[in-house]
Amino acid sequence: MAPVNVTVTGAAGQIGYALLFRIASGALLGPDTKVNLRLLEIPAAVKAAEGTAMELDDCAFPLLAGIEVTDDAKKAFDGANVALLVGARPRTKGMERGDLLEANGGIFKPQGEAINAGAASDIKVLVVGNPANTNALIAQQHAPDVPAGRFTAMTRLDHNRALSQLATKLGVTVEDIKKLTIWGNHSATQYPDVFHAEVNGKNAAELVNDEAWLADSFIPTVAKRGAAIIEARGASSAASAANAAIDHVHDWVLGTPAGDWTSMAIPSDGSYGVPEGIISSFPVTCADGEYSIVQGLEVNEFSRARIDASVAELVEERDAVKGLGLI
């Protein structure tokens, strides 16, 4: 089988450094799939990315068929089967939201165009760089020949954080928990939902039996975990974000386990009252390289209000990038 072409943007960044070695070791696509890595960076960071490429060479990974480093998006995405869009413009002090969206439009528009022009027909895109959901929308809107559903954004880190918090609360392991969901935006408004989650077959919300804990402790802890890590570590989360990116693509390509689901931000088809087209997180199962939204879940009042708030934020972001002429 020909190697799979995996493009990583922002390859010289923190997350890139935690991500690339795991992709090359087989964690992304399994132990039988060779990969070609394409590392895209801005010109100023190409040298650092070349350094990382040297280290990748020095690992002598049997599954790593080749590495290319470039600052040319067209080259980076040519023939790409999987694209991990990690590089983004971080919010700096005093920056207005419009400036942030505009700066990211300048990154994700040309990347969408390059994906449209040259990526392989089975391209799967995961956006990690923030604001991830809206950056994914911008790239998608500039890739009209690629099926819209191939553009996704990462809420898997939020999902994994929620699993870990719930496991600690109930004194179980993460493996005991199934069917947890992150809804909405990868932002402080995200909604981690335990009402359909099962812990060794029992309903998680019933086991918790404490709505105040959900509202005042669990949800804010998951949503603000990134800030807590910056506070403790003096740097933003990187290895856990890279791990979640691996989990997202791994499950999309290789499938979710039977009897469970995961969370992915994907273009809404209107399910659960989420306006069609916005890239919002849903409970999904994956099989044969395709995801599908888990249907028929009852959404109680507690959940409805929180899903609606996060979705409203996504609609606002979409309208803002529309207003700026970015989509």
Binding site for ligand NDP (CB under 6 A): 9-10, 12-16, 40-42, 45, 86-90, 107, 128-130, 132, 157, 226, 236-238, 241
> How far does the chain reach from its first CA to its final CA, in angstroms?
37
For residue 117, how far is the Cα from the chain centroid? Answer: 23
Rounded to a whole number of angstroms, the minimum distance from the CB of residue 67 to ligand NDP is 15
Distance between CA atoms of 53 and 59, rounded to whole angstroms?
10
Distance between CA atoms of 85 and 127, rounded to whole angstroms?
5
For 109, what's the count of Cα atoms within 13 Å in the CB-facing half-sphere? 12
Between 87 and 267, CB nearer to ligand NDP: 87
- The question of whether 186 is a catalytic residue gets the answer yes
Between 11 and 204, CB nearer to ligand NDP: 11
Distance between CA atoms of 144 and 26, rounded to whole angstroms?
31
Rounded to a whole number of angstroms, the minimum distance from the CB of residue 102 to ligand NDP is 14
Between 63 and 88, CB nearer to ligand NDP: 88
- Furthest C-alpha separation in the chain: 54
Distance between CA atoms of 68 and 40, rounded to whole angstroms?
9
Q: Tokens for 64?
A: 């790593």
Between 19 and 27, CB nearer to ligand NDP: 19
Q: Tokens for 195?
A: 């009402």
Length of the chain measured in residues = 327
Residue stretches of the annotated binding site for substrate: 91, 97, 130, 161
Between 109 and 250, CB nearer to ligand NDP: 109
Rounded to a whole number of angstroms, the minimum distance from the CB of residue 302 to ligand NDP is 25
- Strands (E) located in the chain: 4-9, 35-40, 64-70, 82-85, 124-127, 151-153, 177-178, 181-183, 191-193, 198-199, 202-203, 262-267, 279-287, 290-293
Q: For 85, left (φ over 0), alpha (ψ -120 to 50), or beta?
A: beta
Q: Tokens for 117?
A: 């022009």
Distance between CA atoms of 195 and 211, rounded to whole angstroms?
11
Q: Exactly one of 186, 196, 248, 250 is catalytic; which is it? A: 186
Rounded to a whole number of angstroms, the minimum distance from the CB of residue 43 to ligand NDP is 9
Rounded to a whole number of angstroms, the minimum distance from the CB of residue 288 to ligand NDP is 28
Q: Which residue is nearest to ligand NDP (CB)?
A: 13
Strand partners, 182: 192
SS3 301: helix
Rounded to a whole number of angstroms, the minimum distance from the CB of residue 226 to ligand NDP is 5
Between 130 and 181, CB nearer to ligand NDP: 130
* Active-site residue list: 186
